[in-house]
Amino acid sequence: MTQVNRLGGGQIDTGRTLSFRFDGKTFQGHPGDTLASALLANGVRLMGRSFKYHRPRGVLTAGSEEPNALVELRTGARQEPNTRATTAELFDGLQAASQNRFPSLKFDALAINDRFSNFLTAGFYYKTFMWPAAFWEKLYEPIIRKAAGLGSLSLQDDPDEYDKGFLHCDLLIIGAGPSGLAAALTAGRSGARVILADEDFAFGGRLNAETFSIGDADATDWVARTLAELQSMPNVRCMIRTTVIGAFDHGIYGAVERVSDHLPEPMPGKPRQILWRLYAKRTLLCAGAIERPIAFENNDRPGIMLAAAMRSYANRWAVTAAQKVAVFTNNDDGHRTAVDLIAKGVKVAAVIDPRPDAPRLADCELLAGAQVIDTQGRLGLKFIKVKLGDGSERTIECGALGVSGGWNPNVHMTCHQRGRPVWNADIAAFVPGKDGPAGLSVAGAAAGDFSTHSALRTGAAQAASALDGIGLSASPADMPEAEDAPVNLQPFWYVKHGKGRAWLDQQNDVTVKDVKLAHQENFRSVEHLKRYTTLGMATDQGKTSNMGGLAIMAELAGKSIPEVGTTIFRPPYTPVSMGVLGGRSRGMHFHPVRETPSHTWATEQGAVFVETGNWLRAQWFPKPGETHWRETVDREVRAVRSSVGVCDVTTLGKIDVQGTDAAPFLNRVYANAFAKLAVGKTRYGLMLREDGIAMDDGTTARLAEDHFVMTTTTANAVGVYRHLEFVRQCLCPDMDVQLISTTEAWAQYAVAGPNSRKLLQKIVDPEFDISNENFEFMACREITVCGGLRARLFRISFSGELAYEIAVPTRYGDALIRRLMSAGQEFDVVPYGTEALGVMRIEKGHAAGNELNGTTTALNLGMGRMVSKKKDSIGSTLSEREGLNQPDALALVGFKPKDNSAQVTSGGHLMSMGTPVDASHNQGYVTSACYSPILESSIGIGFLKDGSNRMGESLRLVSPLTDSEVEVEVVSAHFVDPEGDRLRV
């Protein structure tokens, strides 16, 4: 079948033919076609089945407001459900399939629902699936889910890339029809920064669909000329295929640019779509208007569409839905469809106009005072039944019917910040209210100025006035004469004749009857109406249907339409893919990765990495022959405790604290005292939140009288810095203290174990004496290593062994770890990862993130006495609260299983022997546990009520989650070297 319904002219390139498939059948179209126009050209009116009743449906519109013609576009991983055929650009090889039908579009088994429509009315689900409650999850929901939904997902990963971006402008113009183009000319010529965005793939808006002249030229020529001028201006950015999806606070708009949707697949490296964040000082909404239908019995057959859509298909795409058509309109504009189709050689059977005094504008039969009361044709329109002004009925044969109930200004964007449209009786439609987003004004048909003449002028004038508001001067561009027909309309929402179903919302299968039922059952507010009937939901958000529902509800309630009110619109304007919201942030690029200075080296060693925050840290370093991670970790721990090991600790936050008040400042932020810390010394610091709960801890070194370097835990580095700045700027604004993060500037390695000093002595330059006497425990010093490289050395220990941390500028970090490893060969030095680090700190009883878990106080952590009462520090006052200081407060202790082979489980709760296992008998919980290769037993640390006085007691460690129970003994949390002798040798 060739393109039987293709007409002459149009904005398509008939010189090239594109081949595409729909439901497995091959068709031809041309560049410039949409899938919908190409299907119509090939005589295909039936494009899908309706959501609820599986009624045969075709296109209603020619734009993004389309409720019916939703298809699955493409195949394989790119298969995309619920794509509007009216906006899908045709490309060679396009494949599409209809949805919501089985086994085929022409014969759909679930069309049986249509026979039961009396039961499936508004509120059916609410009323039917109420009871018994137990049936819901097992029976009702699975059945409903199976029947619901339209298209299907590919269930494969999206192969395309998406991007995002940010643009700034003085004036954002949404829509490039006559008003948008006039506005862009005005603003562009003034030199202002302009963004002109349009969702369509051709600029011009409605001008592409009409046969108007502007001045003495065809409107399409004027569009081309205007566009050429705009594109020559460096200050104007014309964004095609770009839908502005939402108006957000303070002039921020979201937009989706469909860069590659019109291609079989994106060009290499190019995104499928881009999500733009637009910063606009002023915005002009030139989004035009959307035609609304009239409801009548069986008004949903394929071939029945909006009159302006019929005109668009004829004028822009050179297509008619049938060779013989009719028009049903309550306004003069609808008659244009008849005029234009006749001019294209299509036979127009009649124009039916319910106005008794309807003017005769087209050269065809006019049935004034008449209404379409029913239609026939199982899979596409064949006949319409018309009730004439004198009451008689007549059947007219036609394959398509254009319907116009007037136009609704496209107020969507003006409602995004709770703005309410207001009623304009002259055009019987809602127009934007004055309470739209600040900085946004409206021009052209979107403001209710429907004629081309007035759209051009309001566009130019509103652009000048918007720029004036930001101090830029622009004079409205001179606009030529253009079509200036007045709005001539008799409000007419639905045909009252007959008892059959008249469709209001074709996407959700909502009929006039459903609205009546909602009214009868007292769901009368517009918001209730929407939710009870589903009117206006789903992908089209009621762009063509809300108005009809509202008008009928008003009539039933005996109120005027504005009295009933209107539902408002929310972003997005049209559906947005999840992919574009994610942008580049997906897969391994979901968040940035932070690599330690030894990363390359560790990778070479075959290290296994773990994510801690954004950091990738070596978790352990398996050696050939090691078959289990525990084997590796046990070896690393033993090696450190018996000789020496090296661990990359760069990830700990480092904050440079300087100033004459640096010491008092630290006194303020740490619970313990820092003022008297000697230069060249390091001290452990505990930081509390103002409520007395531990926030973070770490060591802080005093490099000079007025210079400290603070370390924070890896996880809290950002939060602690923010907190310090809060204290500095908001609480102590006159303290002389300056802060800056230096985390990344220094590669820092822990060198731990009895041979650590010997190893370091091999790389520390000889003029620096790091002997036990001259560089004692907790000392720090700026030194040089490896022949003059500046470095910092801290004698601090997390493992409990003689240990140091050495820092060099990050660029030398890779070289330093290699040097430490080669110099340490004689000591059998090992690298160790975060797992061994964790084991050793548990063995030593050092608190870490599991213990500083946002619920524990200094007292709980066994550091109650560290909280100085002689000074003002954050959290010290509220840490004195009675509730935090009960005699049986939780205390950090250690646990060993009674049976050496049993396992202590982190997260398990502690119960006294013989008590029930429930929350009221809870004695505490285990926070960290590991296997200690030194004690050759599983061990744990955790919090126990009055723990320090319960040494030696037996407890049950229960984990209902894992259904385990182990008997443990309470011991000191310091399993290894409790006196700390090893640290000081």
Partner 1 sequence: MIINHPLLGPRDSQEFTYLGDAALIDRPDWQAEDAVDQFHDYLYLRDNPAGIHRELWFHETGDRSWLVVTRDTTTHEITSVELARDVARARGRSK
Partner 2 sequence: MSDLIPLTALGGTSPRVDTFQGLEISECPEWALASIAARSGRATDMASAAQAFLGVALPDVARTAEKAPFSVFWMGPEQWMIEAPHDSHEDLATQIKAALGDTASVTEQTDGWVRFDLTGERCHDVLERLCNADSRSMPPGSATRTQLEHLGCFLIRRPQDSHFSVLGPRSSAGSLHHALETAAKSAI
Q: Does 140 bind partner 1 (CB under 8 A)?
A: no
**Axis crossing angle, helix 178-189 with helix 452-468, rounded to the nearest 10:** 40
Q: Where are the alpha helices (DSSP H) in 475-598?
A: 512-520, 526-533, 546-557, 561-564, 578-582
Residue 731 contacts which entry, partner 1, partner 2, none (Cβ below 5-8 A, type-dependent): partner 1
- Tell me: does residue 773 bind partner 1 (CB under 8 A): no
Q: How far apart are CA 560 and CA 557, in angstroms?
A: 9
Name the residue with tokens 């018996």.
642
592 touching partner 1, by CB under 8 A? no
Q: Do the bridges between strand 594-595 and strand 615-620 make them parallel or antiparallel, or are there none, so unpaired?
A: parallel
CB 710 → partner 2: shortest distance, Å? Answer: 13
- Residue closer to partner 1 (CB basis): 734 or 767: 734
Query: What residues line the site for partner 2 (CB under 8 A)?
Result: 161, 163-168, 269-271, 274, 277, 279, 584-585, 589, 591-596, 599-600, 614-615, 650, 656, 658-661, 706-707, 734-736, 738, 740-747, 784-790, 808-816, 819
Residues 422-481 that bind partner 1 (CB under 8 A): 438
Structure-block tokens of residue 949: 């006085």
How many other CB atoms sit within 10 Å of the CB of residue 404? 29
- To partner 1, the closest distance from the beta carbon of 693 in angstroms equals 11
d(CA 617, CA 838) in angstroms, rounded, equals 13
Q: What count of other Cβ atoms lies within 10 Å of the Cβ of residue 602?
A: 24
Interface with partner 1 (CB under 8 A), residue from 880, 899, 918, 967: 880
Smallest separation, CB 34 to partner 2 (Å): 26
The interface partner of residue 691, options being partner 1, partner 2, none and the CB cut-off 5 to 8 Å by kind, is partner 1
> In terms of CB distance, is 229 or 656 closer to partner 2?
656
- Verify binding: residue 656, partner 1, rule CB under 8 A: no
Residues in binding contact with partner 1, number by CB under 8 A: 27
Burial of 170 (C-beta count, 10 Å sphere; 0-12/13-18/19+): buried
Distance CA 203, CA 219 (A): 12
- Among the listed residues 491, 583, 664, 849, the single contact to partner 1 using CB under 8 A: 664
Q: How far is the CB of 765 from partner 1 (least distance, A)?
A: 36
CB nearer to partner 2: pick between 4 and 593: 593
Interface region with partner 1, contact rule CB under 8 A, candidates 102-110, 244-252, 404-412, 564-572: 244-252
End-to-end CA distance of the chain: 94
690 binds partner 1 (CB under 8 A): yes
- Residue closer to partner 1 by CB (options 378, 418) is 418
The site string for partner 1 over 278-317 (x = CB under 8 A, - otherwise) reads: -x--------------------------------------
x/- contact string, 164-203, with partner 1 (CB under 8 A)?
----------------------------------------
Residue 591 found at the interface with partner 1 (CB under 8 A):
no
Query: 3-state DSSP call for residue 748?
Result: strand
Minimum CB–partner distance for residue 664 and partner 2 (Å): 12
CB of 740 to partner 1, least distance (A): 9
Closest CA relative to residue 32, chosen from 53, 46, 11, 49: 11
Q: How far apart are CA 524 and CA 623, in angstroms?
A: 74
Nearer residue to partner 1 within complex by CB, 435 or 626: 435
Which of partner 2, partner 1, none lies near 878, with the C-beta cut-off 5 to 8 A by kind? partner 1
Do the bridges between strand 890-897 and strand 964-971 make them parallel or antiparallel, or are there none, so unpaired?
A: antiparallel
Integer Cα distance of 330 and 439 in angstroms? 36
Q: For partner 2, which is the closer residue by CB, 355 or 654?
A: 654
Token digits of residue 168: 């700034």
CB nearer to partner 1: pick between 435 and 814: 435
Determine the Cα–Cα distance for residues 899 and 896; give it in Å rounded to an integer: 8
Among partner 2, partner 1, none, partner that 269 touches (CB below 5 to 8 angstroms by kind): partner 2
Q: The tokens of 452 are what?
A: 């081309």
Which DSSP string corresponds to 402-426?
EEE--EEE--GGGGTTS---EEETT
* Shortest CB 282 distance to partner 1, Å: 13
What is the spatial distance between Cα 254 and Cα 658, in angstroms, rounded to a whole number? Answer: 43
| Shortest distance (Å) from residue 284 CB to partner 1 | 19
CA distance 665 to 744: 23
- Find which of partner 2, partner 1, none residue 877 binds, CB within 5 to 8 Å per kind: partner 1
By DSSP bridging, strand 347-353 and strand 366-368 are parallel
- Interface mask toward partner 1 for 728-767; x: CB under 8 A: -xxxxxxx--------------------------------
- Is 148 a residue that touches partner 1 (CB under 8 A)? no
- Residue 521 or 690: the one with the smaller Cβ distance to partner 1 is 690
Which partner, partner 2, partner 1, none, binds residue 790 by CB below 5 to 8 Å per kind?
partner 2
Distance between CA atoms of residues 874 and 872, nearest Å? 7
Tokens encoding 799: 């493992």
Q: Is the peptide bond before 103 cis (omega within 30 degrees of 0)?
A: yes
Nearest distance from residue 274's CB to partner 2, in Å? 8
Q: Are 561 and 572 in contact (CB under 8 A)?
A: no
Q: Is 14 exposed, middle or buried (0-12, 13-18, 19+ CB in 10 A)?
A: middle
For residue 729, give the 3-state DSSP assignment. helix
Contacting residue, 810, 877, 922, 937, with partner 1 by CB under 8 A: 877
Residues in 695-724 at the binding interface with partner 1, rule: CB under 8 A = 718, 722
Burial of 633 (0-12, 13-18, 19+ CB in 10 A): buried
239 phi and psi angles, rounded to 5 deg: -110, 105
Say which entry of partner 2, partner 1, none residue 270 contacts (CB below 5 to 8 A, set by partner kind). partner 2
Is 581 a binder of partner 1 (CB under 8 A)?
A: no
Q: Half-sphere exposure of residue 23, counting CA atoms within 13 Å on the CB side?
A: 16
As measured in angstroms, the least distance from the Cβ of 733 to partner 1 is: 5
Residue 64, phi-psi category: left (phi > 0), alpha (psi -120 to 50), beta (remainder): alpha
Q: Is 521 helix (H, G, I), strand (E, B) or coil?
A: coil
Binding part of the chain for partner 1, among 197-205, 356-364, 395-403, 870-878 by CB under 8 A, reads 870-878
Contact letters (x/-) for partner 1, 248-267, by CB under 8 A? -xxxx---------------
- Binding partner of residue 876 among partner 1, partner 2, none, CB cut-off 5 to 8 Å per kind: partner 1
Which pair of structure tokens corresponds to residue 386? Answer: 């018309």
- Could you list the residues that contact partner 1 (CB under 8 A)? 249-252, 279, 438, 661, 664, 690-691, 718, 722, 725-726, 729-735, 872, 876-878, 880-881
